[in-house]
Amino acid sequence: MIGRFDNVIIQTISRLLIPPIQLFALYVIAHGHYSPGGGFQGGCILGASFILMVIAYDIKEAKRMMSEKVNTIFSSLGVIIYSGIGVVCLILSANYLDYGILNKIMPVTIAEARALGIFGVEVGVGITVMAVMVSIFLNLASGGEHEEAEE
Amino acid sequence: MEAISSIKPLLAVIVSLIAAFLILLTGERARNLRESWTILASVVKFAIVFSMVSPILEGKVIEYTVISILPGLSLQFRVDALGILFALTASFLWIITSFYSIGYMRSLNEHAQTRYFACFAIALSATMGVAFSANLFTTFIFYEIITLSTYPLVAHKETSEAVKGARRYLAYLLGTSIAFLLLAIFLTYNAAGTLDFSNQGILAGKGSNALLTVIFILFMAGIAKAAMMPLHSWLPAAMVAPTPVSALLHAVAVVKVGVFTVIRVVLYIFGIDLLSRLGLGTALAYFASFTIIVASIIALRQDNLKLRLAYSTISQLSYIILGVALLTPSSMVGGIIHITNHAFSKITLFFCAGSIYCAAHKTKISELSGLGKKMPWTMTAFFIASLSMIGVPPAGGFISKWYLAVGSMEAKEIPILVVLLVSSVLNAAYFLPITYKAFFEKQDDAHLHDGYGHHDEIKEIPMVAIPLVITAITSILMGIYPDYFLTLAKEVIR
Amino acid sequence: MEFIIGKFNYWIYIVLMMIGFYAMIAKSNLVKKLVGMNIFQTAIILFFISIGSKKGATIPIIQEGATGDAVNQAVNVARYINPLPHVLMLTAIVVMVSTFGVAMALIIMIFRKYKTLEEDEILEIMRSEENK
Amino acid sequence: MTAQAPILIIIIPLIASFLNVIIGLWRKRLCYPLVIITLSLSVILSISILNTVITQGVIHYRLGGWEPPWGIEYVIDHLNAFILIIVSFISFTIAIYSKRNVEQEFPEKTVYFYTIYLLLVTGLLGITITGDVFNLYVFLEITSLAVYALIAIGRDKKAPLASFNYLIMGTIGACFYLLGVGYLYIVTGSLNMADLGRLLPDLYHSKVVLAAFAFFTVGVAIKMALFPLHVWLPDAYTYAPSTVSAFAASTMTKVGVYVMIRIMFTVFEPRFSIVMLPSTEILGWVASGAMIFGCILAIAQTDVKRMLSYILIAEVGYIVIGVSVANRAGFTGALLYILFDAFTMACLFMAAGAVMHKTGETSIHGFRHLHRRMPLTMAAFSIAALSAIGVPPFAGFFSKWYLVLGAIDAGKWIFAVLLLLSSLLVAVAFFRIIQNVYFPPYEILIAGSEIALPSARNDKITLMDEAPMSMLLPIVIMAAGILLLGFFSGRIISTIIQFTVPGGF
């Protein structure tokens, strides 16, 4: 539906904007656990940057940078990271998502281990959210040719 | 009376279930093997049942709890004299019937014989279940199994007529049992807190008279298998089934299960004292006698042989109910012994009808003229059996009618006595003409070339003829030596 | 009047919710239904957020190296808004977004099949197919 | 292992579902085995959980080791354990069944189907296992989203619209539930069920609590398709792929009922739900409406799947009646019914699906004389139908026995009569099919279809053409379950159900 239309201004501006947006997204993700923000918000921003690119260029461009396959892998990879960390805690004979225990395998204190654990989870969430945002958008924008990925 | 625990009742029920399974496995491929399963099962079943007789005669009861399905309600067997009497009759007749139906089915080259024999076996094991059940819960379960397993037998021909008959059959039996019988059972359980049969009855003093009356009426309406009017019309409809089915199931197993359940309810749920206090016994008795008379009158007008037999069955069943409803010792003996007598003679009659159909392909009474010479054995057996039906000594029917008559006098119910006499006359009126026609009427040529081939081809099929001779002889013997069953019957009311 | 002003956040959410509800039930255009659904959910989210907030309170995070006063205020509940409803709503938003996604996918499928999004027209087409 | 079982039973399907996506990109045909292994694992886990509950009593599992009521807590008593077993076993069996159905109906979407299927299972297990009202909401939505997607995944042209309507209704239900949670949070500041159960009794006079209760009830009623709010169900389950309708019909409504029981008797006390409000009274009448109208509408249908959907509505009515009479017998009956009806509905829908697979149609005429073509499937179908009618010795009878007993104990004769009446109506509905299957009058057959002219009646070569093994096996398992389970209901009650009856009954 969104056909290609070359508009120098839009493309240049979005070229300029996208990197800082993504950087900010990473910041939001990384600081999620001790300031406002977190995986979901960061993921949304990250996804928004891709969407901006799709709007500025066209779907083929976006697909070139992030193909359907990669997208699908990302969307499930995030969840696997998140639940994987939890399972690691299980394996270390603590309860699910009890990050404190992670200090057994990392040279850090329990508090730091908690911070790192939650950070890992945030990253996972971020990746998934980003991937799903993009796939939903592409799915709608392309009128369903882009196979739907389920949240 | 002390109870001995034994697994025999369960075996008696299970054996024909296993047989049904094997029959289904064997299928059409090896017909002889399949039939041999039926024969084997029937013989074994009879052996098991027979082995339980002697302890019963010593006044013991055999108990066996299969599994406690719901707390307080268990699938339990309890063999007493009444049960063994019924089980003995049914299982013995099953042996004969299985030979008969093999001959019948093969001579007519019927379809779907595997289904036929399998359902037959299941129905029989359910009959045993009812006969041996120790509480209403168990009775109800097997009661429904009988209904379901005989439904395919009624619809066997698969013509639209057969299907209609089967639908009515199911509607009556299943509908009444769910709507009335189940409700009555719930009410009983709610009132008495138990469903176990006990000789004194369990409902005595457990509720207001109105409630008990309602329960009783619900029971009587719910047990449509007893074919009391006005809930009788499923039985004529079921006559579309093959004759062996009508013979064993709709003259012995199914209908007798209905009557049997009525007896159980009357004697072991309500108890004699309670019923006589409520005066329900007499009411039931008059209801039954109404059925007797009306059914006999309808039977007079039937030209189709099986239909006439069906209506005769309806009236004869009510004899049994009448006998029990009078609540006097002799009448009860008469009713209970009539279970056996009627079973033997009526199955003979049906066998004859089947044999006529096999040999001459005739179903109408008007076509029977002159058949006596061609099928002497069949028609003679028919004559004997009808004598027993009418109640002419020395045939077995006489014994039961005698006791019934005595009972009615004990109960000071002279109208009932009149009913008995009138109905005997009616029985004679609708049975003897058949024999007369068969033996003494010349066959007019109109029937010479009707339907299937010439009459000179008509000859009895031994596989079919032998069983009916046996049953006929038995029904005579039971008139001459009634003691065996009488002792059992007396055991019941002792 | 006080009754309305004092609890204005509830009134707002109720009004919004009813608007959304009306759209979901009454509109025949599927997309409008969907928009109504979003309004409906947003109203509930507003409701939750509003019950978490307090006048003059701040986010419940103790600054790094906070001394005396700040630490004492850490236990002073009145100074901090209740974060839990916000967190819940974060999840609720995720749910909302995914519901929206699925619904959109469905709408696309419907549009591909019937070339319209007016419910009555779709039903009309269905009926004609039935008769065919 | 057993200590972590409560979380593993959720996590394993979750991880597997996303693993499934990645594997699916690589090798499509590995998805099916993965799903089977995962679900068999969850069956084992649920059994071990039940075992633990029976031997050691209620399990409390704290996610992330946070103390309740702050952290999310999984609480498993006999009730959840019971439902867990049902859900996991049914999902496992239907997963086996799904193979050929998927191959036939939407081979290109295999990966997505199994992913969403696993998510659906995760959601249902989560609803059952969690002890936190908001967490329950999340799982509820996961479940619903998965089902919306699954319903629309098939070929049927009508499916998307049905799914969309379901989505709208379902969202309303979920949002009402969420509002209920919010109201309770305002007054108590807690989301933990047990904690709420402790805090609420002092607040029963408050209007907010009443509103919360109302929102909960309506929301859950929509989710479990209680009679006046059932409108989404028939379309959705009729047009869905047969696997999906089988699974949804047999588990989702049951889990909905479970949620209702939790809310009414754990979060709120029976004292509140029964005495202070006449809620159970109202529910009882609504449910009896469901029974009667469900059956009547079922009789009116000509499509088997649609008829089954209406029967399902009626059976939700049965279960709710069992709960609403609010005594031991009724509650026991309701739980037994949940178990048996899960089996029955799975068997019926799977059989219908198998017929669809073979003949391509599910109209009642399509069933005509099928007992020659698919004897086993039809036998299973008949068994399940008889169980649904409530004829002994099949399982349904024993649960109905308890339901009626409960109604009588509560002195609600009218309910008892209605139960029996609706059984008769169900019988009418089903014997239309059974008679069509076994004894179609030959006059019609000659006119109607190719099979079995009277001349062909005696030929021994029956043109038998059964469903594939992977479909047949689950159907037969279910039928066997229906046949046998009834006789063990005594044991089931004495070991599990009697402990689930809430206090005050």
User: Per-residue pLDDT tens for B50-92?
Assistant: 888 888 888 788 888 888 776 678 888 988 888 898 998 899 9
Query: CA-CA-CA-CA torsion for D20, D26, D27, D28, nearest 10 degrees?
Result: 60
Which chain C residues are closer than 8 Å to D149 by Cβ?
102, 105
Q: How distant, in Å, are the alpha carbons of B254, B316, D348 from that of B295? A: 18, 9, 43
Q: Half-sphere exposure (CA, 13 Å, Cβ side) for D97?
A: 34
Could you tell me the residue range of the domain that residue D312 belongs to?
A: 286-505
Residue A90 and residue D18: Cβ atoms within 8 Å? no
D271-297 average pLDDT score: 88
Output the DSSP codes for B74-101: EEEEEE-HHHHHHHHHHHHHHHHHHHHH
Question: Cβ-count burial of B3 within 10 angstroms (0-12 exposed, 13-18 middle, 19+ buried)?
Answer: middle
ipTM of model over 0.90 = no
Could you tell me the residue range of the domain that residue B309 belongs to?
A: 279-494
Number of inter-chain CB pairs under 8 A, C vs D:
70
Residue C59 and residue A36: Cβ atoms within 8 Å? yes
Q: Is residue B54 part of a domain?
A: no
Give the nearest partner residue to D179 out of C44, C85, C113, using CB atoms.
C44
Q: Under a CB-based contact definition with an 8 Å cutoff, are residues B38 and B244 in contact? A: no
Q: Is C97 on the interface with A (CB under 8 A)?
A: yes
pLDDT attached to residue B47? 92
Give the nearest partner residue to D145 out of C24, C99, C129, using CB atoms.
C99
Q: What is the Cα C95 distance to its own chain's centre?
A: 10
D192-206 average pLDDT score: 87
Query: CA-CA-CA-CA torsion for B182, B142, D295, D177, nearest 10 degrees?
Result: 80
* CA distance linking residue A38 with residue D339, whole number of Å: 43
Q: Is A1 on the interface with C (CB under 8 A)?
A: no
pLDDT attached to residue D452? 45
Which tokens go with D149? Answer: 């997607």
pLDDT attached to residue D443? 54
Residue D416 and residue B183: Cβ atoms within 8 Å? yes
Q: Is residue B139 part of a domain?
A: no
Q: Each residue's pLDDT tens digit in chain A (151 positions)?
A: 455 567 788 888 888 998 999 999 998 888 876 677 788 888 989 988 888 888 887 777 777 777 778 888 888 888 888 888 888 888 887 777 777 777 777 777 887 888 888 888 888 888 988 888 888 888 777 765 654 444 3
| SS3 state of residue B64 | strand
Domain count, chain A: 1
Note the pLDDT tens digit of each residue in D94-122: 999 998 888 888 888 888 899 999 999 99
Residue D15 and residue A83: Cβ atoms within 8 Å? yes
pLDDT at D413 over 50: yes
In this complex, whether C and A touch, counting 3 or more CB pairs under 8 angstroms, is yes
D300 secondary structure, DSSP code: H
Which of A73, A92, A95 to mutate against chain D (most D CBs within 10 Å)?
A95
User: What is the nearest CA distance from C105 to chain A, expressed in angstroms?
Assistant: 7
Residue D168 and residue C107: Cβ atoms within 8 Å? no
pLDDT attached to residue A113? 82
Average predicted confidence (pLDDT) for chain D: 87
Residue D203's pLDDT band, with cuts at 50, 70 and 90, is: confident
pLDDT attached to residue C131? 78
pLDDT at D450 over 50: no
Note the pLDDT tens digit of each residue in D236-246: 999 999 999 99
User: Percentage of residues in chain D with pLDDT exceeding 70?
Assistant: 95
Which of B147, B158, B215 to mutate against chain D (most D CBs within 10 Å)?
B158
Q: Is residue D400 part of a domain?
A: yes
Residue B186 and residue D487: Cβ atoms within 8 Å? no
Q: Is residue B331 part of a domain?
A: yes
Beta bridge partners of D132: D192
Q: Is residue D463 part of a domain?
A: yes
Residue A84 and residue D11: Cβ atoms within 8 Å? no
Residue D444 and residue B179: Cβ atoms within 8 Å? no
Other beta carbons within 10 angstroms of residue D229's beta carbon come to 20
Residue B158 and residue D424: Cβ atoms within 8 Å? no
CATH classification code of C2-58+68-131: 1.10.287.3510
Look at B56-60, D51-55, D122-126 and tell me which has the smallest mean pLDDT.
Answer: B56-60
Q: Each residue's pLDDT tens digit in chain B (494 positions)?
A: 677 888 888 888 888 889 988 888 887 778 888 888 889 999 999 999 988 888 888 878 888 888 877 667 888 898 888 889 899 889 998 898 888 888 888 888 877 788 888 898 999 999 999 999 988 999 999 999 999 999 988 888 878 888 888 888 888 999 899 889 999 999 888 888 888 888 888 887 778 888 889 999 999 988 988 888 888 888 888 888 888 888 887 788 888 999 999 999 988 888 888 888 888 888 888 888 999 999 999 998 888 888 898 899 998 899 899 888 888 888 888 888 888 888 888 899 888 888 888 888 888 888 888 788 888 888 889 888 888 888 887 788 888 888 999 988 888 888 888 988 899 999 898 888 888 888 887 766 555 544 454 445 677 777 888 888 888 888 888 888 888 888 888 887 77
Q: Is A150 on the interface with C (CB under 8 A)?
A: yes
Which chain D residues are closer than 8 Å to C84 by Cβ?
185, 191
* CA distance linking residue B417 with residue B158, whole number of Å: 44
Domain count, chain B: 1
Which tokens go with D36? Answer: 């089977």
Residue D7 and residue A77: Cβ atoms within 8 Å? no
pLDDT attached to residue B399? 87
Give the nearest partner residue to D65 out of A83, A98, A148, using CB atoms.
A98
Which of D8, D17, D21 to mutate against chain A (most A CBs within 10 Å)?
D21
Could you tell me the residue range of the domain that residue A84 belongs to?
A: 8-141
Q: Is residue D116 part of a domain?
A: no
pLDDT attached to residue D419? 92
pLDDT at C63 over 80: no
Q: What is the Cα B369 distance to its own chain's centre?
A: 29
Cis, bond preceding B230 (omega within 30 deg of 0) = yes
User: Could you tell me which chain A residue has the CA closest to the CA of D117?
Assistant: A150
Report how far apart the first and last C-alpha atoms of chain D are (Å, whole number). Answer: 36
In this complex, whether B and A touch, counting 3 or more CB pairs under 8 angstroms, is no
Give the nearest partner residue to C109 out of A136, A144, A151, using CB atoms.
A144
Domain count, chain D: 1
Each residue of B430-457: b (16+ CB within 10 Å) or e? bbeebbebbbeeebeeebeeeeeeebee
D202-212 average pLDDT score: 88
Which chain C residues are closer than 8 Å to A29 by Cβ?
none
Other beta carbons within 10 angstroms of residue B251's beta carbon come to 29
pLDDT attached to residue D298? 93
Q: Is A142 on the interface with C (CB under 8 A)?
A: no
User: Could you tell me which chain D residue has the CA closest to the CA of C116?
Assistant: D161
Residue C115's pLDDT band, with cuts at 50, 70 and 90, is: confident
Q: Residue ranges of the domains in chain C? A: 2-58+68-131
In this complex, whether C and B touch, counting 3 or more CB pairs under 8 angstroms, is no
User: Percentage of residues in chain C with pLDDT exceeding 90?
Assistant: 20
Which among B387, B398, B402, B374 has a CA at the least distance from the CA of B461?
B374
Q: Is residue A24 part of a domain?
A: yes
Which chain D residues are closer than 8 Å to B141 by Cβ?
392-393, 397
User: What is the nearest CA distance from D26 to chain C, expressed in angstroms?
Assistant: 25
Q: Half-sphere exposure (CA, 13 Å, Cβ side) for D248?
A: 34
Q: Is residue A3 part of a domain?
A: no
User: Please, what is the Cα angle at B426 between B421 and B431, to 5 degrees?
Assistant: 125
Which chain C residues are closer than 8 Å to A136 by Cβ?
97, 100-101, 104
Q: Under a CB-based contact definition with an 8 Å cutoff, are residues D349 and D478 in contact? A: no
User: Could you tell me which chain A residue has the CA closest to the CA of C86?
Assistant: A36
Which of D120, D185, D195, D208 to mutate against chain C (most C CBs within 10 Å)?
D185
User: What is the nearest CA distance from D392 to chain B, expressed in angstroms?
Assistant: 5
User: What is the nearest CA distance from D21 to chain A, expressed in angstroms?
Assistant: 7
D15-32 average pLDDT score: 86
